[in-house]
Amino acid sequence: MQKIKISLETVRDEIKSFYDYKTWHFLTLNGVALEDNKLEVQWIFSKYEAMNEVKVYFCVVEYTDLIPSLEDIIPSAIISQRELVDMFGVQVEGSEKGLYLDEDSRQSPLSGCST
């Protein structure tokens, strides 16, 4: 696995220049809660012809940061983006909450929030 740190400002450019849908499979967008009220956001890809070759692009963000959408580059990213919004309570450009959680569910359960 290759883990590549990128900045929030360059996420779209970095992934757009890397991603070739014929070579790489977008697995998911993942979040990892960190100390100091930060979140590591990970965009995870695997190579079609080399199943053990995985690339993870990641950046560390504040919960108040706006995370850019990759939906126009990778249309299936919308599902993972909306899951990130629901589970962590962050904002992802153009991604609404309410995909996985009902209104009466505990909101942002993975962020440590109690709302």
- Whether 34 is in a domain gets the answer yes
Contacts of 13 by beta carbon, 8 Å cutoff, 6+ apart: none
Find where tokens 């153009």 sit. 94
pLDDT of residue 102: 63
Is 10 in contact with 64 (CB distance < 8 Å)? no
- Whether 28 is in a domain gets the answer yes
Q: How many domains does the chain fold into?
A: 1
- Parent domain of 23: 2-66
What mean pLDDT is reported for the chain? 88
Q: Which candidate, 92, 73, 89, 72, places its Cα nearest to that of 81?
A: 92
Residue 53 pLDDT > 90: yes
- Whether 41 is in a domain gets the answer yes
Place 113 in a pLDDT band, splitting at 50, 70 and 90. Answer: very low
